[in-house]
Amino acid sequence: MTQRTPIIGGNWKMNTDLESGMSLASCVVDGVENCDSCEVVVYPPFPFLQAVESVVDASKVHLGAQNMWHEESGAFTGEISGAMLKDVGVSSVLIGHSERRHVLGESDALIAQKVDLGIKQGLQVVLCVGETLKEREAGDTLAVVLLQLKTGLSNVSRDQMASIVIAYEPVWAIGTGKTATPDDAQSVHASIRSTIVDLYDDNIAQQTRIQYGGSVKPDNATDLFSCEDIDGALVGGASLSADSFTAIVLAACDS
């Protein structure tokens, strides 16, 4: 891996309850205590953000949110603004996760608006991109991923790229136990980085972190992290076990 600090995110999705979420966060805080060379973020469900913040506050673990709305405030029943997230200590937000795209129908255009506002509100924005199995089998992986990338970044200036992390998550690998091979993942990551060169410049591309996501586990993490353009992982299922998540963080620290 290059000089980029690896970033490991734990996306808890719609899992845990208040007590188990706080306990999971507490075990993660303890487990990563001595890991200095890696950034760690947990993304609990909205109702538990404040409670988890009280656990991770003053630790190395950052607090993230799984989504936000693209307007600052107003009549958007059931939605959450970036300012509200900041208010409760959130520093990072996932935008365009495949479940938001494919289960909840979020479009590239909506995602671009969310990216824009998340950055303006001072959040680290993790822009998630990835192809479905059908798209992969049709040979459209790069066309899909790079279009999602370009549209997602369409309002992002050069200076704002410092607040962006890209998560490449092939949809067919999320929650399925199937992982892209390190070579397959590396090849898509390299294309993402070279597209960032085209959109911005080489310097910005070299500084942008690109996480891999899709059934990352302690036993496949080391091979993935040894790839030149893989700068950590966005972890779903394995982030619900403090032992597994911590082992993935330690693998990134050692990479």
Query: What whole-number distance in Å separates Cα of residue 165 and Cα of residue 175?
Result: 21
Tell the smallest beta-carbon distance from residue 225 to ligand PEP (Å): 15
Identity of the residue numbered 253? C
Q: Which of 237, 244, 249, 255 binds ligand PEP (CB under 6 A)?
A: 237
Q: Which of 45, 175, 182, 218 binds ligand PEP (CB under 6 A)?
A: 175
CA 60 to chain centre: 17
Selection from 181, 119, 163, 171 nearest residue 145 by Cα: 171
Tell the smallest beta-carbon distance from residue 255 to ligand PEP (Å): 18
CB 71 within 8 A of CB 37: no
Tell the smallest beta-carbon distance from residue 180 to ligand PEP (Å): 11
Residue nearest to ligand PEP (CB): 236
Binding status of residue 234 toward ligand PEP by CB under 6 A: yes
Q: Which of 213, 221, 224, 231 binds ligand PEP (CB under 6 A)?
A: 213
Binding status of residue 235 toward ligand PEP by CB under 6 A: yes
- Identify which range of 65-73, 75-83, 138-146, 230-238 contacts ligand PEP by CB under 6 A: 230-238
- Identify which range of 29-37, 67-75, 135-143, 213-221 contacts ligand PEP by CB under 6 A: 213-221
Q: Which of 97, 99, 131, 135 is catalytic?
A: 97
In degrees and rounded to multiples of 5, residue 161 shows phi and psi of -60, -20
Q: Which of 236, 245, 246, 252 binds ligand PEP (CB under 6 A)?
A: 236
Distance separating the N- and C-terminal Cα atoms of the chain: 7
Is position 169 annotated as part of the catalytic site? yes
| Binding mask of the shown chain, residues 2 to 21, with x at each position contacting ligand PEP by CB under 6 A | ---------x----------
Selection from 113, 115, 59 nearest residue 92 by Cα: 115
Q: Which helix (H) or strand (E) holds 42?
A: strand 39-43
CA–CA distance from 203 to each of 128, 156, 158, 197 (Å)? 21, 16, 10, 8
Q: Which of 39, 106, 135, 169 is catalytic?
A: 169
Tell the smallest beta-carbon distance from residue 177 to ligand PEP (Å): 8
Nearer to ligand PEP, 145 or 234 (CB): 234
Binding status of residue 174 toward ligand PEP by CB under 6 A: yes
CB 205 within 8 A of CB 197: yes
Binding site for ligand PEP (CB under 6 A): 11, 169, 174-175, 213-216, 234-238
